[in-house]
Structure 1
Amino acid sequence: MQIKINDMLRDYIEPLTEAEHSALERSLLAEGCRDALVLWDDVLVDGHNRYAICQKHGIPFKVTQNTSFKSMEDVMLWMIDNHLGRRSVSDFQRGVLALRKKDILAQRAEEDNARIQAEDASIAPPEPEAEAAPAPKVRTSREDIARAARLSSNTISQIEKIQKTATPELVEAVRAGTISINAAATVASLPDADQVAAVAGGKKFLQQAAREIREQRAASRPPKAPKAVPEGEGEAEGGHSGAPWDGPSEVEQLRLEVAQLKDKNAALRAENAELRERIATLVDAS
């Protein structure tokens, strides 16, 4: 059988690092290819690295057919579940895979609902007492995805942010373990040029950039409103029973908060400009 390589399936899962590929090659040369390659008809689904190494060195291998696949989405879901079960997959990779699974299931649910509505519109309406069978629930909430990836919901949110706003350089730093998911999600809030410069500064500078961004955010939070004083507890010590002072009005309080936020915004802009200058200095010196 002539095995076919689908480029999309080959690149769907995170590629091996050079060290991982070298370790796999040594293992295959020493022990042979013990696990069968998985095919969908004549398309290779699982074992792209093993197949390439076996072809290179003439190592015999076995194949097995998975007859449960009905579509390319079935293949992708199987690949995702297969890799989520492996210990060697990093937290970031598991999160990315789980989010891909979420997208596929959500798209399927939309297509199924549209198909059901179209079918219902083409037939006579059911009797009033007849109840339609509820559609099966597709588990695509953040909690479900986090559970499948064995991660927290907060970590899934951070990975989503990295996917949406991080530059390729920052994403690669997360994959390589140079920066944590938490810190990368924070640095991803910077403009692209600043993200690239931060990555170029190395691990310590990435950590420093994330720390300074968190400090800026903490400083920009508006102060908590003072607790209301219960009636009768605001009397003066001398026993005066006059009406207690209620403090500034709501409008005055809002004006005060706006003024404070403007001051903090100006301070943050200055700190951001200083941070950029420090990034540029460190990059030039490296």
Structure 2
Amino acid sequence: MKKYMESLSTKKIIKDQSLLRHEDIRRNIRVLPELQAFIPPLLPDEQAQLENNIRKDGCREALLVWETTEGSLAGSDDISPVYVLVDGHNRYGICQRFGIDFRVNLVSFSGMDEVRSFMIENQLGRRNLTPEQTAYFRGLRYLDERGTRGKYKRDNHKGQNVPYASADFIDTASNPEAKAESTAQKIAKQYNVNEKTIKRDAEFAAGMDKLAPALKASILAGSVSVSKSVIQQLAKSDIPAGSLTSIDSLLTGSDQLVAADKPASVSIGRQMSKPAKPAALRKRLHSLLASLTATGADEIGICDQIIDCAAMLKKTLVENHSGERAKNL
């Protein structure tokens, strides 16, 4: 909460929030899939606790909403107002599902890049991030600051024990005498890790963005566990963003990359540490079904995630059932 308030205080809160305007905004909040993707899914017990708290005490914390225009989002001259949800996606979904009142704070941003940076920084301020989530958001921040989101290549990767090349980002405009500091060094210093960790986080984030939303969410939530090296291997591929929809397609893609680079190497796909957990997949499926009722929800995108999640659950149940039958023979 403190981190949230500190970050919010750096933004310009729009003052005109009269009752009538407030009601109009609440009815027209838009949830953008590309921004919702920055919100890691809650663990089942976290979701249940948040839901219980809101149903008991109401939504105490205001949702953060960016007031912008259709033109700013679509690159046109359309000045129709748009109210984009920036923070509070889980609270918003619960309030919509149970008809619970909520407040909004309108905040000014210069554009989508600033919104994205704000959301990444806000997520990194959370205390309950998993190691995968922490690596993902640190990597996203690195890629965004370098302006290479979705374009990451490992052609210049030197390996874990070999130093990287000299600074990739130098800020000498304000101080020509300043020692060059790379983007990775700057971020590493802030989060008390080394530069190579940030570089590997960037590989992980770039690889994760090759996955379909449902598979990415399952990995970040911990319901599916895959070796980081499998994900990092995808970073240098030409696989389209969001195209890998299942564990099978993920491992096939990484196997093909390894085969192309090192024909004699062992399949990297076999490094997956454990299968999907049916209980976690059921929870994820239930959450997706519930999100369909949210006003402004991306119904087509959510339906795609439901299909992917249901397919993963079915595959896991079939495999578990087959394993049980084999034991009983």
TM-score (norm 1): 0.50
Aligned alpha-carbon RMSD (Å): 4.0
Which stretch shows the higher mean deviation, 164-173 or 150-159?
164-173
Query: Are the aligned partners of 2:30 and 2:84 in contact in 1 as well (CA < 8 Å)?
Result: yes
Q: Which residue of 1 aligns with 2:301?
A: none
Deviation at 1:172, TM superposition (A): 5.1
Find out whether 1:31 has 2:72 as its counterpart: no
Note the 1:144-183 alignment, pairs <5 A.
144-163=186-205, 175-176=221-222
Q: Where do 1:197-208 residues align within 5 Å? A: 197-199=270-272
Deviation at 1:30, TM superposition (A): 2.0
Pairs within 5 Å for 1:256-275:
none
Indicate how the Cα distance of structure 1 residues 38 and 135 shifts in structure 2: closer, same or farther if over 3 A, else same: same
Q: Which runs of 5+ in 2 are unaligned?
A: 1-23, 68-82, 149-170, 234-250, 256-266, 277-321
Letter in 2 for 1:58: G
Q: 2:64 touches 2:85 (CA, 8 Å); kept in 1?
A: yes
| Contact 2:95/2:102 (<8 A) preserved | yes
Alignment counterpart, residue 11 of structure 1, candidates 30, 33, 37: 37
- Within the candidate set 160, 169, 173, 1:135 is matched to 173
Q: In structure 2, how many angstroms separate the alpha carbons of the residues matched to 1:87 and 1:62?
A: 24
Q: Distance in 2 between matches of 1:43 and 1:187?
A: 31
2:30 aligns to what SS in structure 1?
coil
**Aligned residue in 1 for 2:140:** 100
Alignment of 1:223-234 (within 5 A): none
What do the CA deviations read for 1:163-220 (whole angstroms, capped 9, x no partner)? Answer: 456895799557518769xx633896697354444437559xxxxxxxxxxxxxxxxx
Larger gyration radius, structure 1 or structure 2: 1
Which structure 2 residues correspond to residues 56-71 of structure 1 after superposition, within 5 A? 56-67=97-108, 69-71=109-111
Distance of aligned partners of 1:144 and 1:40 in 2 relative to their CA distance in 1, 3 Å threshold: same
Aligned equivalent of 1:78, options 118, 130, 142: 118
Q: Deviations over 1:36-93 (max 9, x none)?
A: 00011121111111111101111111111112x1111111111111111110122322
Partner of 2:279: none
Q: Which amino acid aligns with 1:45?
A: V
Question: Which residue of the other structure, out of 84, 87, 95, is the alignment partner of 1:46?
Answer: 87
Which structure has greater helix proportion? 1
Aligned pair in 2 of structure 1 residues 91, 145: CA closer, same or farther (>3 Å)?
farther
Asked if the contact 2:137/2:205 (under 8 Å) is kept, the reply is no
Q: What is the distance in 1 between the residues matched to 2:216 and 2:32?
A: 28
Please tell me whether the aligned partners of residues 200 and 232 of structure 2 are also in contact (alpha carbons under 8 angstroms): no
| Aligned pair partner of 1:184 in 206, 222, 228 | 228
**Residue range with higher mean Cα deviation, 138-147 or 20-29:** 138-147
Which residue in the other structure is 2:130 paired with? 90
Note if contact 1:25-1:53 (Cα within 8 Å) is conserved in structure 2: yes
Residue 11 of structure 1, CA deviation: 1.8
Aligned-partner Cα distance in 1 for 2:136–2:31: 23
TM-score normalized by the length of structure 2:
0.44
CA distance in 2 between counterparts of 1:84 and 1:135 reads 28
In structure 1, stretches of 5+ residues that fail to align are 109-132, 204-282
Letter in 1 for 2:272: V
- The answer to whether the 8 A contact 2:39-2:89 is kept is no
